[in-house]
Amino acid sequence: MGRYITQRLVYMVITMFLIATFTFFLMKFLPGTPLSSADRLSEEQQAIVLAKYGLDEPIPVQYFNYMVNLLQGDMGVSFQFDNREVTTIILDRIGPSLQLGFQAMIIGTILGMLLGLISAIYHNGVLDYGSTFTAVLGQSIPSFVFAGILQYFVGVKLGWFPVALWGTWQHTVLPTIALAIFPLAIAARFMRTEMLEVMGSDYITTARAKGVNKFGVVFKHGVRNALIPLITVLGPLAIGLMTGTLVIENIFAVPGIGEQFVKSINTNDYPIIMGTTLFFAVFFILIVLVIDLLYGVIDPRIRLAEGE
Amino acid sequence: MDKLLEVKNMHVSFDTYGGEVQAVRGVNFSLNKGETLAIVGESGSGKSVTTKALMKLIPMPPGRIKEGEILFEGRDLAKLSEKEMQKIRGKEISMIFQDPMTSLNPTMKVGNQIAEGLIKHQKLSKSAAKSRVIELLELVGIPDPENRMKQYPHQFSGGMRQRVVVAIALACNPKLLIADEPTTALDVTIQAQILELMKDIQKKTDSGTIFITHDLGVVANVADRVAVMYAGRIVEIGTVDDIFYNPKHPYTWGLLGSMPSLDAEVSELYAIPGSPPDLLNPPKGDAFAPRNEYAMQIDREQEPPLFKVSETHYAATWLLHEHAPDIDPPEAIKKRMAAMASSDSRKGERV
Amino acid sequence: MENHKPNKDLFVPVDTRDDDSEKISRPSLSFWKDSFIRLRKNTGAMIGLGALIILILLAVIGPSMNEYDQFEQDLARAKMPPKVEGLEWMGMDGTLSTVQTADSLEQAETNALMRFNNDEDHIETNVLNDGSNGEEAEVEAVYDVYASKDMEGQNFWFGTDGLGRDLWTRAWEGTRISLIIAFLAAAIDVIVGVAYGGISAYYGGRVDNYMQRFIEILVGVPNLVIVILMILILDPGILSIIIALTITGWISMARIVRGQILKLKNQEFVLASRTLGAQDGRILRKHLIPNVLGLIIINTMFTIPSAIFFEAFLSFIGLGLPTPLASLGTLVEDGFQSLQIYPHILLFPAVIISLIMIAFNLLADGLRDAFDPKMRE
């Protein structure tokens, strides 16, 4: 296990280093510097501005400085909001994004698992067809379409929840639902397949042969074994949610990272774009790592085989 | 002797998209207390389905017990509800499965898997169950039971796992033990150990045993009586001596002839030509007829009834009918039959 | 038993040699035939296939089915509601309606009229609740937009957008572009992925090792990040979107192909074939390709809808196609701008993109079931 973690960490560091390097050189090649909006400055003034952002140094030195700064959590200063640090901006906006993501993840996976479980227990029955159909719709229809439907019907027509903005828990309802539908559908389909496979396995027959009742067979023997592989989809789901928040936050005008990111793209605020991208990358890599470790903790086969 | 189990005219079918698969087509047999009955036959002959149906462990649907009675101590299991069956499974009747690699729950500690039945049926407390689990693990020959019971199945070797499976089956002292090819998936040396274990346990307990196998060598070793199944029916049933030294059915001849023997006077093994029929459309007449070199016209038209060879020995082949021509069984079989001194009349009475 | 006294004549031996003891009682079907039959039995997949055919046909011929051009702007006819002759009952009658509530009936009526600029000639008001029972008064106003603009001879089937462009034409043009992007991206994924995975698995050893390490590093990079960075470098357009989608998209295909070939390479039937002297080409043709092809097709079927989704997603975050080009993504994004008053602008592209996604997913599920050897009985 220890060796495995070390190996994973090494890969993680290489990947991050590559992404950071790539990001840095990208910034160098992109049109648009702090000067692009101020090209009427005199040469001296330009030099002052360049020096202020450290852009007068040779590229290798800039690269070195950038990396050192990154290690200290300093991702530069926004072009747009004068002198505001990218790190501060991200930290200011992380709250709503995390809240939406967590709510959607928890609601989506738990409801999805229940739906999949019902499907598997009533295999080939009406409930199964109903929930499978729901899952196909949830998996196929893009979250922004759901967002539109919710906004128009639940928000505008029925007026049950606020259509946009942020503040009370009511504001989180519609964006959470719009985000939760995809993980719900995926969890439901995955749970159904896994559960059906588990229920067909020999050890379930062994359990039944012991006289265990249906409830015990399903929950004591079935669900636990079906849940283990479900962990593998949690990573991709979390990453999907990251993609989802970019869109959903914009539709519902939620002041999160995603909304800021899109704004920055439209205003060519490269330090924020790059900083947020790096942040996403770190987040992504950490999620994958955590899921991997979680898998090891939950499955006794992996936990013990590698502990020995 | 007391009859523990009596199966009368049991039919089991599976409804598939292609139609009704008649896996078991009218099986009759009985089992006395403390007796071991072996059921032999090739893959797909319905032996596993027969025993799974006894415990109602076949998936229903698509499977169903179409007709017949399963009298266990006089109660008809075929008529019991799932709830009532749950009280019988594991307590009165229990089962040992074929593949120890897949028949244990990978995420549950071995001790808990054994204790589960105890807690359910005998309402034992946790500590009482624990000491019983240790006792059982010792019984099936697992060293260091106190630590082993806290481990997961993947920490056991195949043979050890099969011992655990046996322990699970024995937990509540069942009156009937069904072993579904318990040695097939194991290495030869381990096979012998598990067989020894099972014989040992038979001696210690008084339970009746049904032993499914396609290995005739195993049969001679453990069984009192043997039933030969083909295409969902029992084609011959009798004591071990009846079947091994005085077989009457051409299919039994084929099975015995295909068994390698160490006294290698007959060096050539016999192979039964062809493959078993498709039970989606069972053939008219004797299902074995297309593969039977002694087949007669009547085999094509009518299913043979069971003919009585002796008090203990019955076979379903028209060759036992009074009109049938005298047929010489294959050489190897004749040698066996010669060895059997107590030969009865060649022609049987009808039952 | 009914056969009590069987006829003595029947007890004659028959020759079994000439008959069918070796007969295999099931018809033999090739892998593809069998899969195809099972696919055809899958209702969901067939519905998906049918829907896809219709949608693709519409994407091809839809834009030329009326006289409007996708770029033809005319602010005089901006945001016209959809109108289809014969489908008035579905609400496609070219009207807008509103329900206004107020304390008094008069106030409600005034509000309702104000909502459509007091163009009273073309507004029909309808009192839903006159407020006499103490509740608020409710007035519904229905505004015939086409009549008010003197365009009664014209029909915009899906209505028009904020610049007066015909949405029917733009929706199908957009579908076409989205599909082209998705198909091309999927095709490139297949080519690169199969080649990479195939080479890696075929050569094995050190080559495989290096190629796999490379993939492992790439997999660590979130594709969202790569796509965004790529789009930032490249000029926005169809080509850059395709490049951005494929730059990491091929990885999953490469892994699947490699895994499958490695598995097959050592399987008994391949060894048996090799032992019998089969050439590499034959093994490749008869054993490897047929067994990998199913997986490739299934994976591609899942790639296409995800490419369509990603294209729409890029439009949403402002990295999509430049104006005035239409794709389903840009149309949906556009629709959100005026969702509250003119929901039809969002409705049609949203429905089309949802239908495409559902159709592809249904078909892909069906294919997966059909090709899955575990499903074979």
Render the burial of C14-41: b for 16+ CB within 10 Å, e for the rest.
bebeeeebeeeeeeeeeeeebbeebbee
Q: Residues C348-358: pLDDT tens digits?
A: 888 888 898 88
Cross-chain CB nearest to B106 (options A208, A209, A301): A301
Selected for mutation to probe chain C from A124, A132, A140, A163 (highest C CB count within 10 Å) is: A140
Is B302 in contact with C25 (Cβ distance < 8 A)? no
Instruction: With CB atoms and an 8 Å threshold, state whether A207 touches B97.
Output: no
B5-33 pLDDT, tens digit per residue, is: 888 888 888 887 777 888 888 888 888 88
- Interface membership of B300 toward C (CB under 8 Å): yes
Tell me which of A77-81, A262-266, B202-206 is least confident. Answer: A77-81
Beta strands at B307-310 and B349-350: parallel, antiparallel or unpaired:
antiparallel
* Residue located via tokens 């009482």: B128
In this prediction, residues C160-169 reach a mean pLDDT of 75
Which of C11, C23, C24, C375 is most worth mutating to test chain B (most B CB atoms within 10 A of its CB)? C11
What is the residue type of C327? S
Nearest by CB to residue B302, choosing from C3, C8, C25, is C3
d(CA C129, CA C115): 18
pLDDT at B178 over 70: yes
The answer, for C28 touching chain B at a CB cutoff of 8 Å, is: no
Amino acid (one-letter) located at B7: V
CA-based nearest residue to B94, from B71, B73, B117: B117
Question: Given CB atoms, is A37 within the 8 Å cutoff of chain B?
Answer: no
Q: Which of A285, A257, A250, A287 is nearest to A273 (CA)?
A: A257
8 A C-beta contact, residue A165 and residue A253: yes
Q: Which residue reads 């094995």 in tokens?
A: C204
For residue C134, pLDDT beyond 90: no
* C10 in reach of chain B (CB within 8 A): yes
**Cα separations in angstroms, B30 against B351, C182, C368:** 16, 67, 47
Q: Residue A306 has what pLDDT?
A: 45
Q: Which of B281, B302, B306, B322 to mutate to test the interface with C (most CBs of C within 10 A)?
A: B302
**DSSP one-letter code for A79:** T
**Residue A107 pLDDT class (50, 70, 90 cuts):** very high
Share of chain C above pLDDT 70, in %: 75
Task: For residue range B219-250, list pLDDT tens digits in order.
Answer: 887 888 999 988 888 888 988 888 888 888 88
- pLDDT tens, B194-213? 888 888 887 777 788 898 88
Separation of alpha carbons C94 and C219, rounded Å: 51
Owner of token pair 């199908």: C172
- How far does the CA of residue A145 sit from the closest CA of chain C (Å)? 6
A13 touching chain C per CB within 8 A: no
Q: How far apart are CA A28 and CA A26, in angstroms?
A: 5
User: Is the minimum CB–CB distance between B290 and chain C shorter than 8 Å?
Assistant: yes
Amino acid at B262: L
The confidence band for C173, taking pLDDT boundaries of 50, 70 and 90, is confident
Nearest CA to C81 out of C171, C152, C156 is that of: C156
pLDDT over 90 (residue C255): no
Burial class of residue A203 (count of CB atoms within 10 Å of its CB; 0-12, 13-18, 19+): buried
Burial (0-12, 13-18, 19+ Cβ within 10 Å), A158 = exposed
Question: Between C220, C317, C358, which is nearest A285 by CB?
Answer: C220
Residues 233-262 of chain C whose Cβ lies under 8 A from any Cβ of chain A: 233
CB contact under 8 A, A207 and B107: no
Measure the CA angle with vertex B286, ends B281 and B289; round to 5°: 100
Hey, is the C-beta of A131 within 8 angstroms of any chain C C-beta? no
Neighbours of C67 (CB within 10 A): 9
**Highest averaged pLDDT of the listed ranges A27-31, A140-144, B271-275, B345-349:** A140-144
In this structure, what token pair is assigned to residue A5? 């973690």
Instruction: Map tokens 């079927």 to a residue.
Output: C301
Q: How far apart are CA B205 and CA A203, in angstroms?
A: 25
